[in-house]
């Protein structure tokens, strides 16, 4: 069971930061809700977050930074609108989405070419990011389908079995998640209302379009127009598919080992059969196959347990 440690104590902070640096996951308070954080530049650590949340699918995560200049490692470029918003609302409950640098692992963005960043105002969150010396990718620290936690106790009840440390910083003062604004197109787009009022944002950058609600799955990034799907047709592999066809370039996305067959490109997700490693590699592997000039991609099914469920969900949704 996770230990709740006072986030204002130096020793606790050191321990938490060293877990992050060693590829582990720590729950920490922000001014909005608690987050479940890992080193944003360590794909396997990020995959572990999805495993802990028991999510049947991958969602792009918010990368938390402690200095304005940290965004240079994450976004290709902060345009003038982003700079104005950062100046006015950071630190605070505003998340901004812009095109990502290639160094940001695909598992952080669920394969999207854009990445969400925010600079929280909670002192415990800020010291954790500074002490760990890396931006921290974190979703809200609740299991799939549960309410977002605003106290350390909430986190322990919901996720206490899987993590070592929950940093306590008192109850989260804002109590709702950050507002999310996408700036990757002409018109700023509100992806999620939250702790920073839309009216105040519009006062700084002018009119913001509200992302069309989606009847089936509200605000699910899988439904957003910019969600990444390979352009190359993707198909689940069945036994009959293996006896290669002539003159067609087929790519294989294998789980543990390449298969016999006439494949023009092969990606192996995890030679040791580790679903977390497979999840960490999934989007990067799909990107490589997608740029290999293939006619189609065959994806081998993975076991539907743990992160395997999220992997299979992604493959099914991506397949034609």
Nearer to ligand TXA, 7 or 60 (CB): 60
Q: Which residue has the tokens 């990011």?
A: 129
**Total residues at interface with ligand TXA (CB under 6 A):** 27
Q: Which does 60 bind (CB under 5 to 8 A by kind): ligand TXA, Mg ion, none?
A: ligand TXA
140 lines the binding site for Mg ion (CB under 5 A)? yes
**Total residues at interface with Mg ion (CB under 5 A):** 1
Q: Which does 114 bind (CB under 5 to 8 A by kind): ligand TXA, Mg ion, none?
A: ligand TXA
Of 39, 131, 177, 300, the one binding ligand TXA (CB under 6 A) is 177
**From CA 301, how far away is CA 317, in angstroms rounded?**
13
Restricting to residues 94-133, name those near ligand TXA by CB under 6 A.
95, 97, 109, 112, 114-116
32 lines the binding site for Mg ion (CB under 5 A)? no
From the CB of 304, what's the least distance to ligand TXA, in Å? Answer: 23
Which of the ranges 30-38, 127-135, 149-157, 305-313 carries the binding residues for ligand TXA, by CB under 6 A?
30-38
151 lines the binding site for ligand TXA (CB under 6 A)? no
Of 140, 151, 158, 232, the one binding ligand TXA (CB under 6 A) is 140
Restricting to residues 281-320, name those near ligand TXA by CB under 6 A.
none
Nearer to ligand TXA, 140 or 270 (CB): 140
From the CB of 217, what's the least distance to ligand TXA, in Å? Answer: 11
Binding site for ligand TXA (CB under 6 A): 30, 32-33, 35, 59-62, 93, 95, 97, 109, 112, 114-116, 138-140, 177-178, 180, 191-192, 219, 221, 224
């Amino acid at each position: 069971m996770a230990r709740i440690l006072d986030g204002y104590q130096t020793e606790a902070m050191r321990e938490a930061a060293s877990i992050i640096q060693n590829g582990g996951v720590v729950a920490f308070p922000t001014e909005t809700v608690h987050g479940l954080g890992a080193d944003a530049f360590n794909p396997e650590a990020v995959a572990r977050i999805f495993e802990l949340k028991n999510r049947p699918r991958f969602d792009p995560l918010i990368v938390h930074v402690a200095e304005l200049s940290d965004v240079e490692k994450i976004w290709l470029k902060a345009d003038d609108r982003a700079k104005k918003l950062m100046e006015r609302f950071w630190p605070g409950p505003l998340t901004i989405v812009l095109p990502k640098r290639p160094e940001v692992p695909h598992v952080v963005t669920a394969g999207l070419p854009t990445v969400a960043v925010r600079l929280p105002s909670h002192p415990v969150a800020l010291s954790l990011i500074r002490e760990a010396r890396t931006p921290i990718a974190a979703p809200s620290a609740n299991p799939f389908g549960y309410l977002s936690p605003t106290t350390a106790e909430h986190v322990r009840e919901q996720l206490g079995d899987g993590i070592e440390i929950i940093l306590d910083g008192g109850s989260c003062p804002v109590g709702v998640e950050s507002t999310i604004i996408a700036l990757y197109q002409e018109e700023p787009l509100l992806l999620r209302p939250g702790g920073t009022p839309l009216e105040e944002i519009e006062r700084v950058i002018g009119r913001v379009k509200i992302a069309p609600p989606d009847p089936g799955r509200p605000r699910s990034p899988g439904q957003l127009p910019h969600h990444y799907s390979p352009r190359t047709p993707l198909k689940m592999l069945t036994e009959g598919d293996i006896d290669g066809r002539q003159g067609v370039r087929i790519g294989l996305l294998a789980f543990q080992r390449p298969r016999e067959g006439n494949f023009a490109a092969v990606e192996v997700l995890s030679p040791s059969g580790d679903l977390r490693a497979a999840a960490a590699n999934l989007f990067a592997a799909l990107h490589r196959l997608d740029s290999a000039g293939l006619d189609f991609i065959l994806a081998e099914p993975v076991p539907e347990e743990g992160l395997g469920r999220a992997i299979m969900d992604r493959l099914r949704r991506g397949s034609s």
